[in-house]
Amino acid sequence: MQKINKFILFMLICSLFIGLLAGCTSSNKVATAKGGNNASEDKVLQYQSSPGSVSYPELAADLGYLGDLKLEKVSNSVGGPESIQLTATGDIDFGAAFNGATVKAVSKNVKIKAVVGSYGSDENTYIGAYVVEDSTIKEPKDFIGKKVGMNILGAHAEFLVKDYLRQEGLTEKEIDEVILVTIPASNAEQTLRNKQLDVIIFSGIARDFAMERGGLVELFKDIDVFGGEFTAGDIFFTEKYISENPTTVKTFTEGVAKAIEWAREAPREEVIARYEKIVASREGNEPTANLQYWKSTGIATKGGVIEDKNFSIWIEWLERNGELEPGTIKAEDLYTNEFNPYAQAQ
């Protein structure tokens, strides 16, 4: 009987030991998946996508520029502020946003850092304000009391509207009387034509598609308000992710930078064909018709290299607007070009 009890005790100890080993193995697998301290760097990057469009990371992956990295879509994007939040909380590994929104987030102690350009505005690709042809809105004062639709507040479109109105002489009180309304980009045109909104702010493919149908008038565009072409938004990681996965961030940034240059240099028809192939290969039967209206990257620098002015203009804007204490944020602290080969070549 005593021998049996010793045997049972021995088996229990063995089981406990095996369980501990299994637990350690499981922990190591989790660490490996996300670049833990004692594991290899992250190779599967979670991100958000936009239906019917192609981001530069997606283009880079399709062109084979991301090496051994894989992209894993977790949800559809609804705008830069959400992208910042999800990146900061670790729900996605990288995000993209209008640089003014990034400045605001960093000013609230969100630890993110931009690594490469994501979108911008030039003569072919820009954000503008539009009304129907019989609209009563003819000049800036006419905006007072009117509804202006945009995809999200606190980002590019809101900065554009307010800066335009300030430059045209409206007081802060008058600007506060302009009603800013969020509206999905897919519904913006129809909402304007139905006169549920007075003005809509939109861009690129959706804008060109709407203008082709006629009946809309352009009031102003961002490259005029902000003084020429500019890179408006960048892709970012958290500082923690960069420190834990430097090789991954380098491979990713190099690939995205190369994809930007591919889109800049390839014939327009080839870019559109590649985008159509990428979208058509996705699940969900996403539309491809709008891709015919793609015209340019809009990104102002080679390979999406980031410059101080990408952020300094919005830092100054927020300081003038009383939303940022002067001197608390410096442009050079918001980004790094250390992973971008095009920056090293300059």
Confidence of residue 307 (pLDDT cuts 50, 70, 90): very high
Domain identity same for 312 and 250: yes
Question: What distance in Å separates the CA atoms of residue 46 and residue 257, rounded to the nearest whole number?
Answer: 19
Residue 80: inside a domain: yes
Residue 256: inside a domain: yes
Q: For position 20, what pLDDT does the model report?
A: 36
Residue 32: inside a domain: no
Question: What distance in Å separates the CA atoms of residue 25 and residue 330, rounded to the nearest whole number?
Answer: 44
Element (H, E) at 96: strand 95-98
pLDDT score of 11 more than 90: no
Task: Give residue-wise pLDDT tens across range 162-213.
Answer: 999 999 999 999 999 999 999 887 788 999 999 999 999 988 777 888 898 9
Q: For position 283, what pLDDT does the model report?
A: 84
Confidence of residue 63 (pLDDT cuts 50, 70, 90): very high
Residue 308: inside a domain: yes
Tell me, what CATH number does 118's domain have? 3.40.190.10
Domain identity same for 100 and 145: no
pLDDT score of 36 more than 80: no
Domain identity same for 238 and 318: yes
Residue 29: inside a domain: no
Q: For position 255, what pLDDT does the model report?
A: 98
Q: For position 177, what pLDDT does the model report?
A: 97
Domain identity same for 201 and 213: yes
Q: For position 39, what pLDDT does the model report?
A: 55
Domain identity same for 297 and 200: no
Domain identity same for 153 and 201: yes
Q: For position 344, what pLDDT does the model report?
A: 77
Full residue range of the structural domain in which residue 141 is found? 127-225
In this prediction, residues 314-319 reach a mean pLDDT of 91
Domain identity same for 199 and 255: no
Domain identity same for 141 and 116: no
The counts of H helices and E strands in the chain are: 14, 10
Task: Give residue-wise pLDDT tens across range 101-138.
Answer: 999 999 999 999 999 999 999 998 899 999 999 999 99
pLDDT score of 45 more than 60: yes
pLDDT score of 4 more than 50: no
CB 177 within 8 A of CB 147: no
Residue 63: inside a domain: yes
**Residue where a domain terminates, one of 198, 225, 252:** 225
Handedness of CA 261, 262, 263, 266 (dihedral sign): positive
Find the radius of gyration of the CA atoms of the chain.
Answer: 24
Element (H, E) at 243: helix 239-244
- Hunting for tokens 């049972």 — which residue is that? 8
**Residue where a domain terminates, one of 179, 197, 225:** 225
Domain identity same for 279 and 334: yes
Question: What distance in Å separates the CA atoms of residue 152 and residue 271, rounded to the nearest whole number?
Answer: 28
In this prediction, residues 18-32 reach a mean pLDDT of 37
Q: Tell me the average pLDDT of the chain.
A: 87
pLDDT score of 144 more than 50: yes
Domain count, the chain: 2
CB 201 within 8 A of CB 129: yes
Residue 303: inside a domain: yes
**Residue where a domain terminates, one of 225, 240, 259:** 225
Query: String of b and e for 226-236 (b: at least 16 CB within 10 Å)?
Result: beebbbbbbbb
Domain identity same for 236 and 297: yes
Domain identity same for 75 and 153: no
Q: For position 206, what pLDDT does the model report?
A: 77
Residue 11: inside a domain: no
Domain identity same for 110 and 250: yes
Provide the β-strand partners of residue 50. none
Task: Give residue-wise pLDDT tens across range 70-97.
Answer: 999 999 988 888 999 999 999 999 999 9
pLDDT score of 294 more than 80: yes
